Structures are given as C-alpha cells and as structure tokens.
Amino acid sequence: MKICVIGTGYVGLVAGTCFAESGNTVICVDVNREKIEGLKEGIIPIYEPGLKELVLRNSAEGRLSFTTDLAAAVKASLVNFIAVGTPPGEDGSADLQHVIAVAREIGRHMEGFKIVVDKSTVPVGTADKVRQAVQEELDARGVGIEFDVVSNPEFLKEGAAIDDFMKPDRVVIGADNVRTAEIMKELYSPFMRKTNRLIVMDVRSAEMTKYAANAMLATRISFMNQIANLCERMNADVSAVREGIGSDSRIGYDFLFPGVGYGGSCFPKDVKALVKTAEECGYDFALLKAVEEVNERQKSVLTEKLIAYFSRENATAPLAGRTIAVWGLSFKPRTDDMREAPSVVIISRLLEMGATVRAHDPEAVREARKIFGDRITYSGSSQYDILSGADALAIVTEWNEYRNPDFDRIRESLTRPVIFDGRNLYNVRRMKEIGFEYFSIGRNA
C-alpha cells in the first residue's frame, strides 16, 4: 500500500518506519528541513531503541523515504496519516492548528480518492473539523474528489515504541465507512499476530478512547502516589501494597509504581485537554482535576525529603551551598525526551534553594542542556563522575544502569552516604545494612 505520514516526530517516524517494515511504500513528511535532511542521511532525531536499524534498512530497501514536499507525498499515497503535534493551548485545550493546517494542505493537493487518518491525539469532534478543512479546499479548487476521514489513535509508549507498534495490545479504528475500515484492517493485519484485536468503532468513540486510556493510566499513577504518601505516614510499605492489590486480576500490576509524578509529552497534556473538553460541554470532570493536582504536588515530594533532611543542620537555608548529584533527567528511561519531565521541576527547585546540581543521564543530556544551559553540570558517560564530593544522590529516572550500582563507589564518592530515591530502586533493609541513609517513596526504613 502507498502511505504518507505527515509529521515525522516520535509517532510519525515510528509508525512510518513500521508500516515500511511490513512491506508498504511509505513517505514521511515534515516541515522541519533539518530533520528531513538528517533522516535522508540516516541521522535519527530521537533516541528510541531499535528505531535506527529499522529506518536504515527500510530506507536502503527503498520502502521508506523522507521529504518536505507534502504535495508530492499526498499525490502518491492512498492513506495519509496526520501525526503532527497537538500541544496544549493556553487554556489547556489541544491546539489543533497543525492538524488543520495539514488537512488543508491535503485538500489543496489531492488528486484522487484519499483516506485521511487522524493519528495525532485529538479531541472528540476533530475528524469533523478535518473533513471540513479538506472539503473547503476542494471547494475552493472547484473539484469534487471523494475522501474519508478516519480516527486511528496511537497507544505506543516511548522507549518501547517499536514493540508497542508492531505487537500492539489493540488497534482502534474509528471509521464511518465500511470500505475504508477494510483498507485500514488490511494495513494493520501484519501487526495482529500477538492479539488479533483490531477494534472498529465510530469516529467519535475512537477519539474519546485515546483520552480515556491516557486519563485512566494517569489516574492509576496519581492514586498510587497518594497511597504511597499515606503509607509513609502510616509506616506501611507501598511495594507490598502494590503486590497485594495487583494480584487481583481486576486491578493488575501495571502502572501502579509510585514515584516523582508522571511526565512526558502526553499524560499531562491529555489530562488537561480532557478536563477542558468536559468543561466545554458544561461537565465538571472533578476526578481528573484532582489527578492533575496530585501529580503537580508529587513532583515536589523528593525535594521536600531533601529539604527536611538538610534542615536538621541548617533550618533557614537547608540546601544553600549543598551539592546534589541527580541520576536521571528524561521523563522515563529509554528515551531522551525531556517534555514535562519531573526532573525539570525537581532541579529547578534545588537550584532556587541554592544547591549546586550535577546530573547524569545516558541519553537526555543534549535535551536537558536546552533547558538548564550551564546552570547545572552534566555527565552522559559515567554515572559515578558526578558523585565525587556531592552531599547526596537523588534518583529521578529509573534507567537500568542505576538498578544495581556499585554502592561502595557511591559511598566513597559522596561526602555522606545518603540517597533520595524517587523510583524505589533498592531494598530498604539492604540499604540500611550497607550503611546508607536511604529515603524512597512510600516505604519507611
């Protein structure tokens, strides 16, 4: 099948590459010239495990190409995915300007029947706006060409994007036309080997499904963060509680890890957008407002622990003159994405309180530099380099290399053996045995 994917970001590049891998001819389009020129040279703009090999192979075999020429890509393709960003507007609602701009471009250039697919996360009703934008352009050209608009939200997670796309739990297709739904099914059939779960529904329900899924996952995290905070106060252990509740098959274990709050380019913006959508139709989504508020508060829990600890020595300026080593900057492991990363809130607060911050991250240093500049120092190589002479270690992202570190080296490097762990990586009892003061989330020593 001939496909074009407009917007070559996390979703567009992964989707385009995976569709090429399953034998289709795919053109990835972007307005960012530098990105497209880089991709033509095999330079991958993001860190995503396994992506580079797939891009290189499919490009070499001629199934995957990159261009800034949207008109030519649309003319050559039957299925046209819109995978541009939908960032939050000032009021929290999803900003659809890029989606609509692409829809107009499609209408301006299409020559025969086209399927226009909303892959971006967009509020209920967007497919109608996309349809209208395409139609207005066709009318302006004075041509009558048929087209269909489909909603096909994406559920991949960064860091596991290729696997999520190739072996999805489900694929949701919102289509009002049976013929178009069949074409979409055909396109996804190579990825239906793990679970044959391709769910076809009406367009508006598909649009809502995406927000409902992210909002549900965000709700689980905020719920668990509050349970963790309560565990600390009640001297219970949240890890045991997670085991205890997760074993109930109605609850399950996933997405119940407490931590420093959820981040990333999607949960925060999608929760806000759904609250806004509800508001627009006169409904108060009180639960989601609380989910968001709890998440904001959770981002300061680790810093509060540091402040409380150092207040014992200096109550008025507890962190002034202290050096804090931070492990992990990206919003989650296996990505270099810093969008809405809790590390930004945590480090900014440490700096405000007069601390010096040194940070390590295996992949996100380049992105973090765009945010912090030279206000902090970085290491992308050894996680131990930044520890020398630091007063404490704070763990913010659970990269694998932090899970089983050389504790002797940590102890020798820090001025005192104290670790603040925002991701519950270590066994509380063992840390005590090997001589660390250890503070984590929802677990007391």
Annotated binding-site residues for NAD(+) read: 30, 35, 86, 121, 158, 269, 339
Nearer to ligand UGA, 154 or 207 (CB): 154
Cα gap 234→313, rounded to integer Å:
26
Q: Single out the residue of 188, 223, 255, 384 in contact with ligand UGA (rule: CB under 6 A).
A: 255
Binding partner selected for residue 391 from ligand NAD, ligand UGA, none, CB under the kind-specific 5 to 8 Å limit: none
Choose the stretch contacting ligand NAD; rule: CB under 6 A; options: 57-65, 84-92, 354-362, 413-421: 84-92
Binding partner selected for residue 215 from ligand NAD, ligand UGA, none, CB under the kind-specific 5 to 8 Å limit: none
Q: Single out the residue of 63, 272, 332, 358 in contact with ligand UGA (rule: CB under 6 A).
A: 332
Cα gap 298→423, rounded to integer Å:
12
Choose the stretch contacting ligand NAD; rule: CB under 6 A; options: 96-104, 167-175, 320-328, 381-389: 96-104
Residue in this structure with the two tokens 């209208």, named with its chain if needed: 132
Percent composition of the chain: helix, strand, coil (DSSP 3-state, to 5): 45, 15, 40
Q: Smallest distance, Å, CB 172 to ligand UGA?
A: 11
Does 259 contact ligand NAD by CB under 6 A? no
266 is catalytic: yes
Element (H, E) at 273: helix 267-280
The count of residues interacting with ligand UGA (CB under 6 A) is 20
The number of angstroms, rounded, from the C-alpha of 322 to the middle of its chain's C-alpha atoms is 32
Please list, in sequence order, all residues whose beta carbon lies within 8 angstroms of the beta carbon of residue 86, skipping any fewer than 6 positions away: 94, 95, 96, 98, 99, 120, 121, 122, 269, 273
Q: Single out the residue of 158, 292, 363, 367 in contact with ligand UGA (rule: CB under 6 A).
A: 158
Q: Single out the residue of 7, 16, 168, 263 in contact with ligand UGA (rule: CB under 6 A).
A: 263
Pairing of strands 356-360, 323-327: parallel
Tell me which residues in 2-41 interact with ligand NAD (CB under 6 A).
6-12, 29-32, 35
* Cβ 9 vs Cβ 82: under 8 Å: no
Binding partner selected for residue 214 from ligand NAD, ligand UGA, none, CB under the kind-specific 5 to 8 Å limit: ligand UGA
Over its C-alpha atoms, the chain yields an Rg (Å, rounded) of 24
Does 262 contact ligand UGA by CB under 6 A? yes
Within 10 A of 140 (CB to CB), how many other CB atoms are there? 11
Cα gap 271→404, rounded to integer Å:
34
Interacting residues with ligand NAD (CB under 6 A): 6-12, 29-32, 35, 83-86, 98, 101-102, 120-121, 154, 156, 158, 265-266
